[in-house]
């Protein structure tokens, strides 16, 4: 899909489809030192999501005049420990993760994603990667691990590699969706979001979860979103498993091209 085709979609609808996806590429939150690993994708559904935001201490570079929230309730909830699963649930989530991985591997590079109509939302951000959005059908239907609306890459070059997926919950339910089997896929939302569409490009004037006001967003020509829909990452690609868990918010393996997590004021840097 080219930039012009995206602008043909009603502005309000496009915001509803993309805002959650964009945000995940912006948030570089506090990371605590909760331990744990996840070496097996399908076999280990008791992944250490308790280690969400673990292994480093990183904060997004603040925008002048904007104070960052110290996380939000949803992201703090991601730090809760996983619970043990019964065999039936374990088998179910294992099958779902295999299906998700197979879907991811159909688009091994950014070139594959863009050729299939996925559109870059924002830029590359350390710990969460570069998010490419399937606008067509992004808001349709129930959760399906075989149909991820977002592909995550380790950069924005044509040969940048697939590293994971992100799923969204359609609608504005106050409750997190069922999603993957079991209770260990901790979904989250973001607040205080400013999104700007210009010539088919999706721009993010401010970091997510910052004390941005509607007036500040309007001053940038953007559309203000008070709270997004629910979302969850799934680090299902072999070689890119997150040490913090398959459903962790951040993946410590994703860093900037210079090996750091230093970003610009919007929370971006150059990936691979």
- Match 């993957």 to its residue by tokens: 180
Where on the phi/psi map is residue 109: left (φ > 0), alpha (ψ -120 to 50), or beta? beta
Q: What is the mean pLDDT of residues 46-75?
A: 35
What's the predicted TM-score (pTM) here? 0.73
pLDDT confidence of residue 237: 98
| Radius of gyration of the chain from its Cα atoms, rounded to whole angstroms | 17
pLDDT confidence of residue 119: 87
Q: Is the dihedral of CA 11, 16, 22, 27 positive or negative?
A: positive
Mean of the per-residue pLDDT values of the chain: 74
Task: Provide the residue ranges of all domains of the chain, joining segments of one domain with +.
Answer: 3-234
pLDDT confidence of residue 171: 65
pLDDT confidence of residue 71: 54
User: CA-to-CA distance for 212 and 67, rounded, in angstroms?
Assistant: 8
Asked whether the predicted pLDDT for residue 131 surpasses 90, the reply is yes
pLDDT digit string (tens) for 197-234? 776 567 778 877 778 899 999 999 999 988 888 899 99
């Amino acid at each position: 899909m080219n930039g012009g085709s995206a602008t043909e979609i009603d502005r309000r609808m496009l915001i509803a489809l993309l805002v959650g996806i964009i945000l995940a590429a912006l948030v570089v939150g506090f990371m605590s030192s909760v331990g744990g690993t996840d070496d097996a994708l399908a076999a280990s559904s008791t992944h250490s999501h308790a280690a969400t935001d673990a292994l480093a201490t990183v904060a997004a570079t603040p925008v002048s005049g904007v104070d960052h929230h110290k996380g939000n309730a949803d992201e703090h909830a991601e730090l809760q420990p996983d619970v043990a699963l019964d065999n039936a649930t374990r088998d179910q989530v294992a099958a779902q993760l295999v299906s998700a991985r197979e879907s991811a591997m159909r688009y091994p590079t950014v070139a594959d994603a863009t050729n299939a109509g996925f559109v870059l939302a924002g830029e590359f951000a350390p710990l969460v990667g570069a998010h490419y959005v399937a606008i067509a059908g992004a808001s349709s239907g129930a959760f399906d691990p075989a149909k991820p609306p977002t592909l995550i890459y380790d950069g924005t070059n044509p040969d940048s590699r697939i590293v994971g997926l992100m799923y969204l919950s359609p609608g504005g339910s106050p409750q997190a969706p069922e999603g993957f089997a079991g209770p260990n896929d901790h979904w989250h939302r973001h607040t205080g979001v400013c999104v700007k569409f210009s010539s088919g490009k999706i721009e993010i004037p401010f970091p997510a979860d910052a004390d941005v006001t509607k007036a500040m967003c309007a001053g940038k020509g953007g559309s203000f979103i008070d709270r997004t829909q629910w979302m969850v990452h799934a680090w299902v690609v072999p070689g890119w498993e997150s040490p913090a868990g398959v459903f962790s918010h951040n993946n410590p393996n994703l860093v900037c091209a210079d090996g750091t997590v230093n970003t610009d004021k919007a929370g971006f840097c150059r990936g691979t």
